[in-house]
Amino acid sequence: MASDKHETGSKLSKMIKKAIFDCELTTSEHETILALASEDGVITKEEQALLKQLQDLLANQTIKRVRG
C-alpha cells in the first residue's frame, strides 16, 4: 500500500513537472492527475501539496489550460 502511494505521488509529480516544463496542461492530463490522486479514495498530504501547487500554477497562469 505504501509503495502504491509512493508510485501515485511519483506519477503526479512527473505529470505536474511535465506541465510546468510545457507551460500547459491539457484537459486529458488534468483529468488523469485528478483520477490518480483520488483512485484509492484517499488523498494524502503529499498529493494535496502537489495538487495545490498545480492549482496555484494554473491560477497565476504559469501553466495554461489547453484542449486535448
Q: Report the phi/psi class of residue 55: left, alpha or beta, with left for phi > 0 and alpha for psi in -120 to 50.
A: alpha
- State residue 5's pLDDT score: 64
Q: Which residue has the higher pLDDT, 9 or 35?
A: 35
Question: Residue 23 carries which DSSP code?
Answer: T
Name the β-bridge partners of 24: 64
User: How high is the mean pLDDT of the chain?
Assistant: 87
Cβ 19 vs Cβ 25: under 8 Å: yes
| Cβ neighbours of 2 (radius 10 Å) | 6
| Band of residue 12 on the pLDDT scale cut at 50, 70, 90 | confident
Q: pLDDT tens across 26-59, in order? A: 999 999 998 988 888 888 888 888 899 999 999 9
Q: Which domain holds residue 42?
A: 2-66
**Number of folded domains that form the chain:** 1
